[in-house]
Structure 1
Amino acid sequence: MNTEFLTALKDLEKEKGIATDILLEAIEAALLSAYRRNFGSLQNARVVIDRDNGDFKVYAQYAVVEDVADPRQEISLAEAQQIDPRYELGDVVEREVTPRNFGRIAAQTAKQVVVQRIREAERNIVFESYANREGDIINGAVQRVEQKNVFIELGKTEAVLAPSEQMPGEDYRPGTRLKLYIVEVRKTTKGPQIMVSRTHPGLLKRLLELEVPELAEGLVELKSVAREAGYRSKIAVYSRDENVDPVGACVGPKGARIQSIVNELNGEKIDIIKWNSDASKYVAASLSPAKVVAVEIWEEEKIARVIVPDYQLSLAIGKEGQNARLAAKLTGWKIDIKSESQMQEIYAEEYQNYYQDQPAGEQDLEI
């Protein structure tokens, strides 16, 4: 090793951000392992690289003891004091034992360590650049599909779109560009692993923030999102400013804003409703596009019984219960949907049961 090597390490420090001292310490540790491996030494030893000229030396270390049990690791006090009278019991005596042909091994070892550290540094840079972006949107191109996992190219690294995070019916052909939601960034032995999603409700939330300036500015607040990816979503929005229509802001002029998001999500239907602090009004709105006649609320149990016209019952429930299911997710209420005719029967039955439970005198009194 020489000064050119040290200069190269300093250049790496500027380019990759790897401190020269850290590299030299790693090289010293690797050289010590190489020394023990190649020369079968059981001695205690250390390797020192001169920070000024790049020269390296191997020193064997001996503990100063009264009686020597292992001459490979120990030295007597009398012998140590012949080297330097100041040595005392418990001190460590060092002797240079640098092998003559150690230079070639040192060069190979140093190269391996530097390459490894560069790779680690690059992985750390990628990890750091994405670790603080969990919950954010990224753009990427489909690179390949392996065992149902879709790998997304992100420049210096790639992301993984697992089967559970893929939208039903979406075609992931190589080269297709997508917007994806970063679910998690993991640090692994093979480098950072970026897990992304096309089904996460956060994707819809972030897309809305990109398209609707009022959301980004805080004029409109996104209160809740319920999503069944690829089919239908519901979002509840609210504005503290009476002059700002939260639903209109999200829909945009002639529906342009929401249509842009629908296109990105391959035609997924999106219902936008106005959030309301009144639970009955909020639950009623959540069942849009169905019209609601009345809502009965049980606050403690968070149960709502919704009454709709007979012809609106199937619309309120939705295909395979989807509309009702999304409304329940959006509001956090358990929703029981009944038609007007069903409620008439229920009320009649409840009245009849109540009437039958009354004592005879009270029945006559009521009549």
Structure 2
Amino acid sequence: ETRHVHDTFAERVGELVSGTVVRKEPQVVYIQVNKVEAELPKREQVPTEPYRVGDNLKVYVLRVDEAGRRLRVVVSRTHPNLLRKLFELEIPEIADGVVVIKGVAREPGQRSKVAVMSTDERVDPVGSCVGPRGTRVQAIVDELYDEKIDIVPYSEDPKVYITNALNPAKVNKLTLQAAKPADGEETPRGAAYAIVPDTQLSLAIGKGGQNVRLAARLTEWKIDIRSESQAASEGKARG
């Protein structure tokens, strides 16, 4: 029995499974998945999610451990791949490979940015993810207890990609500085210098720096943001 259950779950590592919250302890929430009580440890929990007994939710299977005769299935709600798998589940074009996820940056329970591109020029990748009247992305938002999700059009052109990633803020000017390898950095990141309208500065930076932080993680560029007036006064100081 244990061997059968182990094999069943071992095949599902890296997949989504649906379960029901059955009990809670200070460090772990137990989720019934088929006949197994999976463990959602504290570090894999999203602090803003309630995990009420009886709640149905989808979890990402991290690993399966055998502890003697006991089976331990460890699951996550914070893993970036949880979001990838939810997109595959809700968006047929992603499941079919017509639309491809190029990157995910996530601050669980708060906000995520997901970069998408289409392999078919007739298919709009962002529109496919949003769905009619926003229904597809809303299903994902609901599953994640109202985590905000920005869907970003991917571009091979870093200027376009970074500008898209900083949405909803509008970028007036963007200059790039090529990366110089730093000690210990395998893939050096270049630096992007973005100038935005004065009225858009707080939007571009985001609450607690979240918008620019997620955009930087998504694009793998360091991003420095200045308002028009800041850039002008810095220009005068230099000149």
Determine if the TM-score, normalized by the shorter chain, exceeds 0.5. Answer: yes
- Per the alignment, residue 169 of structure 1 pairs with 48
Higher Rg of the two aligned structures: 1
- Per the alignment, residue 196 of structure 2 pairs with 308
More RCO (CA 8 Å, sep 6+): 2
Q: Where in structure 1 do 4 or more consecutive aligned residues deviate above 3 Å? A: none
Residue 156 of structure 1 deviates from its aligned partner by 2.1
- For structure 1, the residue ranges without an aligned partner over 5 or more in a row are 1-121, 352-367
Return the match for 1:225 from 75, 89, 104.
104
Residue 147 of structure 1 deviates from its aligned partner by 2.8
Q: Does 1:149 align with 2:28?
A: yes
- Per the alignment, residue 192 of structure 1 pairs with 71
Residue 164 of structure 1 deviates from its aligned partner by 1.4
Q: Does 1:249 align with 2:128?
A: yes
Residue 136 of structure 1 deviates from its aligned partner by 0.5
Return the match for 2:234 from 346, 360, 363.
346
- Percentage of identical aligned residues: 50
Question: What is the distance in 1 between the residues matched to 2:152 and 2:232?
Answer: 29
Question: What is the distance in 2 between the residues matched to 1:336 and 1:134?
Answer: 38
- For structure 2, the residue ranges without an aligned partner over 5 or more in a row are 181-189
Q: Which has the higher helix share?
A: 1
Cα-to-partner distance string for 1:13-37 (whole Å, 9 max, x where unaligned): xxxxxxxxxxxxxxxxxxxxxxxxx
- Per the alignment, residue 139 of structure 1 pairs with 18
- Per the alignment, residue 319 of structure 1 pairs with 207
Residue 168 of structure 1 deviates from its aligned partner by 2.0
- Per the alignment, residue 177 of structure 2 pairs with 298
Return the match for 2:86 from 204, 207, 211.
207
Tell me how many residue pairs correspond in the alignment. 230
How big is the alpha-carbon RMSD for the aligned residues of Structure 1 and Structure 2?
A: 1.1
Q: Which has the higher strand share?
A: 2
Question: What is the distance in 2 between the residues matched to 1:310 and 1:267?
Answer: 29
Residue 190 of structure 1 deviates from its aligned partner by 4.0
Paired residue secondary structure (1:135): coil
Question: What is the distance in 1 between the residues matched to 2:222 and 2:109?
Answer: 24
Question: What is the distance in 2 between the residues matched to 1:271 and 1:169?
Answer: 19
Q: Residue type matched to 2:150 in 1? A: D
- Per the alignment, residue 65 of structure 1 pairs with none
**TM-score of the two chains, using structure 2 as the length reference:** 0.93
Cα-to-partner distance string for 1:86-119 (whole Å, 9 max, x where unaligned): xxxxxxxxxxxxxxxxxxxxxxxxxxxxxxxxxx
